[in-house]
Structure 1
Amino acid sequence: MRTRNQKRRPSYNHRDAPKWAKIFAACVVGFVFLSIVAACLSTPDSDTSSKSTKSTPEKTHESSTPSKSSEAPKSEKTHFTSGDPDPALKTRVESALKSTNTDATFDDYNAADNSIWINYEVSDTHFTNKGMVKGARADTAAILEELRDKNIDVSSVNITGNLGSSIAFSVVYNEDTIMNHDWFTMPNEQVWAVRDGGTVNPTFVNG
């Protein structure tokens, strides 16, 4: 029992709480609710990202497969295989001759011994016969160097030099001779001397 002098404690009623407390409580409840909703929405994205991550190695494996097939070794040389020269090789020969800046042209191919024949028009722009001979030897060396540089694989090359209606020279070089000489540095007077066959018209040389 309370004495008369003891004060009675006032009873607490939530309705008497200040307005700011109610607002604060409402914000807390709303924040918790939004956090739950956000967590639920983020779960499918994480599943999707994990699936995409697992599929990445498969794509990488597929893209790396074709590169293996492209590693097959290629032959450095291609042989003529019929009476007519292979179109690709004929193109290479003509390209080599064009690079010489001479009037040399592809003439014929002999399938029996895998040899090619080249026609060449001797330039008559030189003032002396000696100059024509020296120029013809230089052009012969240029033709052989280009064939060597383009790696034309034939058993022999026959170069025929024409001066008007007459043949000035017809020289033959075997594959080993072509490949084993540096024609650009060879002395001019040795170009025809190292040939493996053929002839040089004495009248043309001695003029």
Structure 2
Amino acid sequence: MRRLVATALLAACAGLASGCAQTEQRESTTEPTERTAQPAEPAPTGEPGGSDGPVVPEGFRVFAGDGFRVALPCTPDLKTIPITLPSGTELEARSWGCASSEVAFAVSTTTFPRGLASDLDGVSVGIARQTGGTVVADEAVSYAGLPGRDVTVKVERGGQTAMSFSRALKRGRTLVQVQVVVVGDAAEPPSDYPKILGSLELT
């Protein structure tokens, strides 16, 4: 049950576009498509974002997505989530997610068309709205020269508390989000979260 709560919250947060499009986003009636992501070729140990490839913690495997490589402690499924804005603009959020024990992990990407404004200011608002949670922290960060936000949201659902820890990065017209959802009122993210962040390589 606790794992299902974490997975459900992860699915609710998967559409990063909902955060950055803020109030313009509306729920799509189209069911997400899903398939299992394939492991990338084995990567050597190196500095995050460096030419040697992503850092691979022990027990993790490297997976390749749209413009990134990342190491995860479980095998992710890819969900393609159609999003339609009130203006009629259609977006597509792609989320690679998986769950391990009482923790769910995901890396999501959303590419905005030219002429449609996007920024990081609405990420925390969007995550809170999608989950029905409360923003606990929202901090501007930089990663490999890219602007980003570290966001923590507390959620009460199904009689249980869960915490969502996210890092969102803006790379041109594409937003990349790394997220972990853990069941319980955790003050800090699980130990696997900084390992995942450290393994992230934008390609």
TM-score, with length taken from structure 1:
0.28
Q: Between Structure 1 and Structure 2, which shows a larger proportion of helix residues?
A: 1
Asked which structure has the greater RCO (Cα within 8 Å, sep 6+), the reply is 2
In terms of Rg, which structure is larger?
A: 1
Q: Between Structure 1 and Structure 2, which shows a larger proportion of strand residues?
A: 2
TM-score, with length taken from structure 2:
0.28
